[in-house]
């Protein structure tokens, strides 16, 4: 019996989700061969295709299988042509966020050596910040509850609670403490809001600074969303951990991905107190699905985040090492200029990129 054995729910989903998941499981199999870690992978189906065929995007058994697992690895779900009668898309990933209370949407934005950056400044290669998007309330709390009155006025409501704001703030400060240890410098958490205008954000800000006082080793700061949009172009290398409301986080995470090579390079995690789901920031990309040209790096880096989270949660050195090893292998594959995916103008497909990364993992013990 292996010392570190983990049950993973594997949810490929639709479109390129299926293709990048294949790359991720190949990386996990390579990790199993190199480390004292075992994965029991249970495939869980769901998504737009399944909705079209059965009327249910994800079954109750599917949700329960995900809840039973030690961690969930998720590709992407959805299709622009497959919708509910009200025009919205089936989105089991959002259902899971609410159901499993995955309040912390973690999106690390890091420049990978060798990947072209959007900004010309030489400092752009220093970009390395982590965006924490609160993922269960904010404006998205209104999902499915918005109202249109007399075909004249539409209203959605923003909701901020003390409980979730405290949790997501603590999460962000703990993340900054951990990053500070690794980077050997003091950490900073910046709350991004619009507290000069909205009561909900002023409330969020008050609670954020209450929580900050319990983390004296980290600097706490606040910045307005509009100024942040400007500064993410002007000086993104100055940010460390940023925490923000759901809708703002949704927007800033795409902006962040754009800074470091695009959606194909942006991993993410949805973390709660009891469960965690790891998925690339991108969607199903129907325009390129089925051609074998999707960039698997976002999915592979999400897999590394999963190992890092499992390692921290279960005190598993092997998982922590494996997480670092994957990141290092990605950097080495791109730093050497030996692979270039289609989304940055190259001609290496999903499989070739996964192989280049696997080849650069540390040799077998
Ligand atoms: P969602 O609604 O799920 O966020 P979306 O409509 O925003 O989806 P995405 O799938 O996130 O669309 O991506 C937008 C476009 O970016 C895709 O259509 C595709 O051209 C490109 N893209 C996204 N991910 C990748 C990837 N991994 N590799 C290559 N190109 C990608
Ligand atoms: Mg999108």
What atom of ligand 1 comes closest to residue 16's alpha carbon?
Answer: 27
Does the structure's ipTM exceed the value 0.90?
yes
pLDDT of amino acid 3: 62
Whether residue 365 has pLDDT greater than 70: no
Contact 47, 57 (CB under 8 A): yes
Give the Cβ contact number of residue 185 at 10 Å.
Answer: 10
Q: Is the CB of 294 under 6 A from ligand 1?
A: yes
Q: Is the CB of 298 under 6 A from ligand 1?
A: yes
Q: Is the CB of 168 under 6 A from ligand 1?
A: no
State the residue for tokens 């995916």.
Answer: 341
pLDDT of amino acid 338: 85
CA distance 266 to 110: 9
Ligand 1 centroid distance, CA of 215 (Å): 37
Ramachandran region of residue 151, left (φ > 0), alpha (ψ -120 to 50) or beta?
left
pLDDT digits (tens, 9 = 90+) for 155-164: 999 999 999 9
Q: Is the CB of 343 under 6 A from ligand 1?
A: yes
Closest CA to 22 of 46, 53, 43, 51: 43
What atom of ligand 1 comes closest to residue 342's alpha carbon?
Answer: 29
Ligand 2 centroid distance, CA of 281 (Å): 8
pLDDT of amino acid 4: 86
Ligand 2 centroid distance, CA of 190 (Å): 24
85 confidence band (pLDDT: 50, 70, 90): confident
Ligand 2 centroid distance, CA of 286 (Å): 12
16 confidence band (pLDDT: 50, 70, 90): very high
Ramachandran region of residue 13, left (φ > 0), alpha (ψ -120 to 50) or beta?
left
Q: Is the CB of 287 under 6 A from ligand 1?
A: yes
What atom of ligand 1 comes closest to residue 284's alpha carbon?
Answer: 10
Q: Is the CB of 288 under 6 A from ligand 1?
A: yes
What atom of ligand 1 comes closest to residue 78's alpha carbon?
Answer: 3
Among the residue ranges 38-47, 83-92, 273-282, the one predicted with the least confidence is 83-92
Q: Is the CB of 75 under 6 A from ligand 1?
A: no
Residue whose CB lies within 8 A of the most ligand 1 atoms, among 18, 280, 285, for a mutation test: 285
Average pLDDT in the chain: 95
87 confidence band (pLDDT: 50, 70, 90): confident
Closest CA to 15 of 293, 352, 351, 301: 293
Torsion of CA 363, 343, 308, 78, to 10 degrees: -130
φ, ψ of residue 218 in degrees (nearest 5): -115, 140
Name the packing angle between helices 317-335 and 350-359 (round to 10°). Answer: 120
DSSP H helices, the chain, are 16-34, 48-54, 60-68, 92-99, 162-183, 199-212, 225-234, 246-259, 297-313, 317-335, 350-359
2 confidence band (pLDDT: 50, 70, 90): low
Q: Is the CB of 282 under 6 A from ligand 1?
A: yes
CA-proximal residue: ligand 1, atom 17 (nearest): 285
Ligand 1 centroid distance, CA of 212 (Å): 36
In angstroms, the Cα distances linking 334 to 29, 34, 73, 259, 360 are 21, 22, 24, 16, 11
Q: Is the CB of 78 under 6 A from ligand 1?
A: yes
Q: How far is CA 67 from the centre of its chain?
A: 18
Torsion of CA 231, 233, 237, 239, to 10 degrees: 40
Ligand 1 centroid distance, CA of 283 (Å): 5
The pTM is what? 0.95
Closest CA to 357 of 13, 109, 343, 335: 335
In angstroms, the Cα distances linking 345 to 110, 275, 295, 327, 348 are 20, 37, 11, 22, 9
Among the residue ranges 83-87, 137-141, 214-218, 265-269, the one predicted with the least confidence is 83-87
1 confidence band (pLDDT: 50, 70, 90): very low
């Amino acid at each position: 019996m292996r010392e570190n054995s983990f049950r993973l729910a594997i949810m490929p989903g639709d479109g390129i989700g299926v293709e990048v998941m294949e790359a991720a499981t190949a990386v996990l199999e390579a990790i199993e061969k190199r480390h004292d870690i075992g994965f029991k992978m249970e495939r869980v189906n769901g998504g737009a295709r399944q909705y079209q065929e059965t009327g249910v995007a994800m079954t109750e058994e599917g949700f329960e299988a995900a809840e039973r697992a030690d961690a969930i690895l998720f590709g992407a779900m959805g299709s622009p042509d497959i919708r509910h009668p009200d025009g919205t898309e089936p989105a089991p990933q959002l259902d899971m966020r609410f159901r499993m209370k995955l309040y912390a949407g973690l999106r690390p934005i890091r420049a990978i050596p060798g990947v072209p950056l959007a900004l010309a400044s030489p400092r752009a290669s220093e970009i390395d910040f982590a965006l924490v998007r609160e993922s269960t309330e904010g404006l998205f709390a209104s999902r499915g509850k918005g109202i249109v009155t007399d075909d004249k006025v539409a209203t959605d409501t923003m909701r901020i609670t003390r409980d979730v704001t405290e949790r997501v703030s603590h999460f962000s400060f703990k993340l900054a403490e951990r990053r500070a240890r690794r980077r050997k410098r003091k950490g900073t958490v910046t709350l991004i809001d619009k507290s000069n205008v909205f009561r909900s954000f002023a409330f969020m800000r008050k609670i954020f600074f209450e929580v900050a006082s319990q983390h004296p080793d980290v600097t706490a700061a606040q910045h307005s969303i509009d100024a942040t949009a400007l500064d993410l172009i002007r000086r993104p290398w100055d940010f460390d951990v940023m925490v923000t409301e759901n809708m703002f986080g949704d927007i800033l995470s795409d902006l962040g991905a754009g800074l470091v090579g695009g959606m194909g390079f942006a991993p993410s995690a949805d973390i709660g107190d009891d469960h965690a789901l790891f998925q690339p920031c991108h969607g199903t990309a129907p325009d390129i699905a089925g051609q074998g040209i999707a960039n698997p790096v976002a999915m592979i880096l999400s897999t590394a985040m999963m190992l890092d989270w499992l390692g921290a949660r279960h005190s598993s050195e092997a998982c922590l090492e494996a997480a670092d090893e994957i990141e290092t292998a990605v950097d080495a594959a791109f730093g050497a200029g030996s692979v270039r995916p289609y989304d940055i103008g190259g001609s290496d497909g999903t499989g070739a990129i996964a192989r280049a990364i696997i080849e650069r993992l540390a040799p077998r013990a």
